[in-house]
Amino acid sequence: MSINVQSCLIIGGGISGLIAGNILQKKGKIVTILDKGRGIGGRLATRRIHDSDQITGVFDYGMQFFTVTDPLFQEWVDQWLLEGVITEWPNQLSEGQTPCYRGKNSNRSLGQYLAENLEIHRQTRAVSLKSHDSGWTVETETGQSFQADSLMLTPPVPQSLSLLETSNLALPSLIKSRLEEVTYYPCLTLLALLEGSSLIAEPGWLTPKDSPVAAIACNQKKGISPQGCAVTIHSTPEFSEAYWDRDQAVIAETLLNAASNWLGSTVLDYQVHRWRYSHPKTVYGEELLVLENPGLLVFAGDAFSDAPANNIHLTLEKAVLSGIKAANYLLH
């Protein structure tokens, strides 16, 4: 039986929401995306740090690169390559997965490309979801309200659950407990702007062993930060948990010490970003979750997968596939 959806409100402008939005809009549906962030793309995140001498460092500080296993995702990837939005990044992965892809100008630019023709409201945090006869009304923290006949939730699952709870929307108990079992790794990430070049070898990516540092990327060698040597240091989940509440100066000092062999230059400036939900530790177990009561509600995002969460570089693929699945459900 078809469900005849005309419009969809998507909470979250990360890759899953953007992919779903593109598919729905191409089929003539009215799509509105709300995102609490300043930039678009969610965990496809890029930031600039300017030093006092006007040197700018460009940092990809969320997802670093992704790999592809699914032919459906490969079709999107081929199109992005053709359009020059992404490029290969020749990292050697121990798992033997190749190729590795990243945003050509930055990872955020992939999000911006996908956002081009969509109606997106940035810095717009959804705080209340209300279902009624003709669909959903979503209210935001600035008092705006948006309506559509279907709703898609794409934030990390704990954030979606808390939004449902503050909206007094009860989920069937089995589904609620399965959603509560979805967990994510935290990741403390250090963005360090260096005075000179880093010692990280081409292509600008390494994963130290026995260190609080899980991975280091040199954004200059990567080609996205020509002016300043911008180094992104991702810490391990163990370090992130242990140091989560520590002062940022302590986090920075510990990570800079651990990474000192690969820096080789004075740190001009740094910032710490705390990713509470970096990538899933446990997934929902299915690519699609749809609730028809009290209104049509679809979940999407990197936790909606039936594949185990054992490879970080396949996480973006999960988010994309779940966005495709969620959109296709609303189109059937």
Contacts with ligand FAD by CB under 6 A lie at 11-17, 34-37, 42-44, 62-66, 125-126, 154-156, 159, 163, 187, 189, 234, 275, 278-279, 301-302, 312-316, 319
Facing residues of 146 across strands?
138
**In this complex, which beta carbon is closest to ligand FAD, that of residue 14 or of residue 295?**
14
List of residues 6+ apart from 285 with CB closer than 8 A: 178, 305, 306
**In this complex, which beta carbon is closest to ligand FAD, that of residue 137 or of residue 265?**
137
CB of 305 to ligand FAD, least distance (A): 10
Q: How many CB atoms lie within 10 A of CB 11?
A: 25
CB of 286 to ligand FAD, least distance (A): 15
**In this complex, which beta carbon is closest to ligand FAD, that of residue 37 or of residue 99?**
37
Measured CA angle at 23 (ends 40, 185), to 5 deg: 50
CB of 27 to ligand FAD, least distance (A): 20
CB of 12 to ligand FAD, least distance (A): 3
CB of 100 to ligand FAD, least distance (A): 9
The dihedral through the CA atoms of 50, 232, 64, 88 has a sign that is positive
Structure tokens at 69: 């296993």
- Alpha-carbon distance of 53 to 132, in angstroms, equals 56
* Cα separation of the two ends of the chain: 8
**In this complex, which beta carbon is closest to ligand FAD, that of residue 55 or of residue 76?**
76
**In this complex, which beta carbon is closest to ligand FAD, that of residue 24 or of residue 316?**
316
The dihedral through the CA atoms of 89, 93, 95, 96 has a sign that is positive
